[in-house]
Chains A and B, each alone.
Chain A
């Protein structure tokens, strides 16, 4: 099983709302990632968790708050977003890097629209 499950698939929220994106994997991966992707652009890394601890934050605004409650789950809490935050949000997971690199497995994404 190489599946990463993301919910919801679509989300529409106002600028004053609070919502959360959820990501789940059962491959025993101990690294999990959040990416943001705008149309016709490559995914941009937002956060990396290694062994349930935040290891990389790519200078993401504080209105995005990640959480990794256990080794299988990754959340992204959203609050006071701006219309320019509308994008596809992708979750990925991998083994912790060895000497050569990693293989990342991606979920199908959550399409977020901020009104």
Chain B
């Protein structure tokens, strides 16, 4: 069963515009949630993680995500897109039993 859903396989924004990448999870218990970024021809880099310490999580490169239990969402945002943000972004969730599930990914294009 799909545990995280990423809405929008492709997102395009202008340089300097707000970046919003959507992720919804399915769980009756707040899980651990993650955003990973993958630049072309590279491995996965952890952007940020939610482990229940705070609902607003700040990550690297100016990204942040807010955990909203009422909406079962964990959307990723950045106030101002930069050309270097163009990459593939994956939302992921982990559950007990060493289970780890990725969303289908969102490809971000930044238009100059």
Residue numbers of A with Cβ under 8 A of B are 6, 31, 33, 40-43, 45, 48, 50, 55-56, 88, 90, 92, 94, 96-109, 111
Contacts and interface: CB of A to CB of B under 8 A. Distances in A.
B98 A97 contact: yes
Nearest to B32: A101
Nearest to B45: A106
Question: Which of A45, A90, A104, A109 is packed against the most chain B CB atoms within 10 Å?
Answer: A104
B43 interface: yes
Contact of A103 (B32, B90, B96, B107): B32
Interface in B27-76: 31-32, 34, 36, 41-46, 49, 51-52
Contacts of A90: 43-44
Interface residues of B, number: 29
A102 B43 CA distance: 19
Interface of B: 31-32, 34, 36, 41-46, 49, 51-52, 88, 90, 92-100, 102-105, 107
B105 A41 contact: yes
A111 B41 contact: yes
B44 A106 contact: yes
A103 B98 contact: no
11 contacts: A33-B100, A42-B90, A42-B104, A42-B105, A97-B97, A100-B51, A100-B52, A102-B94, A102-B100, A104-B34, A104-B92
